[in-house]
Amino acid sequence: MLSNIRIVLVQTYHPGNIGQAARAMKTMGLTDLVLVNPRQFPDPEASRLAAGAEDVIDQARVVASLDQAVAECVQVVGASARLRSLPLPHYDEPDAMARTLVEQAENDPVALVFGRERFGLTNDEIRRCTHQVSIPANPDYGILNLAQAVQVLAYETFKAWRQRPASDFRTPRPASERAPTRKQLDHFHAHLSRVMAASGFLTQPHARTEAQLQALFARAQLSRKELSLLRGLLKSLEPGDQDD
């Protein structure tokens, strides 16, 4: 199940931070590392600072976008300071996030996403996530480096995996009852946007309506079957045949 938990690093600047993050992952049983547009990788410094986790470095995948990194994931948690301007579901405590993440990872891939060393994730990147999580810290100096943040959330995830109830060892849920992937949600939101625009409901290109609706559906935690029902409803309201 831990193999379903992915660590995604977005535009990491220092190769050594990739190595240190890989080391933090391996100590907690995590091996799936995806890098979005790193400045320099592969790099000897990344391997050197991995210090025994070179296998995680060697297996790491490099992709061009965050969408590529998380397309098949059913939960995507962005690590950031809480942004009240983005109404995504937010975990104030990492242990609560970890319990949910582990539950989802029993059946499908999930991801923890970390941003750049200097300024983290952009607002647009956080919108590509399904949830946010913050790490409580000293309000006078709440600064964690990248590898430290990976270590904290990887530890909470590993602890939640070890402490999960015996009832969690069960037959996998049918696919229709499981959460949709990020790619499936993207198709739904694109479909919803088309229908809203065609109906005249969405008339202001820069309105926050779409972001608020995305957050609403994230909080609803739809199953794949429920998402399919909504897609059917949208299709019935659309003139002609539309393909994604």
2-168 and 175-237: identical CATH topology: no
Arithmetic mean of pLDDT, 64-68: 97
Which one is predicted more confidently, 67 or 165?
67
Q: 3-class secondary structure for the chain?
A: CHHHEEEEEECCCCHHHHHHHHHHHHHCCCCEEEEECCCCCCCHHHHHHHCCCHHHHHHCEEECCHHHHHCCCCEEEEECCCCCCCCCCEECCHHHHHHHHHHHHCCCCEEEEECECCCECCHHHHHCCCEEECCCCCCCCCCCCHHHHHHHHHHHHHHHHHCCCHHHCCCCCCHHHCCCCHHHHHHHHHHHHHHHHHHCCCCCCCCCHHHHHHHHHHHHCCCHHHHHHHHHHHHHHCCCCCCC
C-alpha torsion sign, points 84, 86, 89, 90: negative
- Under the banding of pLDDT at 50, 70 and 90, the label for residue 36 is very high
Count how many Cα atoms sit within 13 Å of the Cα of residue 194 in the half-sphere of its side chain: 18
Supply the CATH classification number for the domain 175-237.
1.10.8.590
The structural domains of the chain, with segments of one domain joined by +, span: 2-168, 175-237
Residue 129: its pLDDT value, please? Answer: 92
Tell me the C-alpha distance between 193 and 231, whole Å: 12
Arithmetic mean of pLDDT, 99-113: 95
- Under the banding of pLDDT at 50, 70 and 90, the label for residue 205 is low
Q: Which of 85, 72, 61, 74 is nearest to 8 (CA)?
A: 61
- What is the percentage of the chain residues whose pLDDT exceeds 70? 91
Residue 242: its pLDDT value, please? Answer: 53
Residue 241: its pLDDT value, please? Answer: 55
- Under the banding of pLDDT at 50, 70 and 90, the label for residue 44 is very high
Tell me the C-alpha distance between 169 and 164, whole Å: 9
CATH number belonging to the domain at 2-168, selected among 3.40.190.10, 3.40.1280.10, 3.30.2420.10, 3.40.50.300: 3.40.1280.10
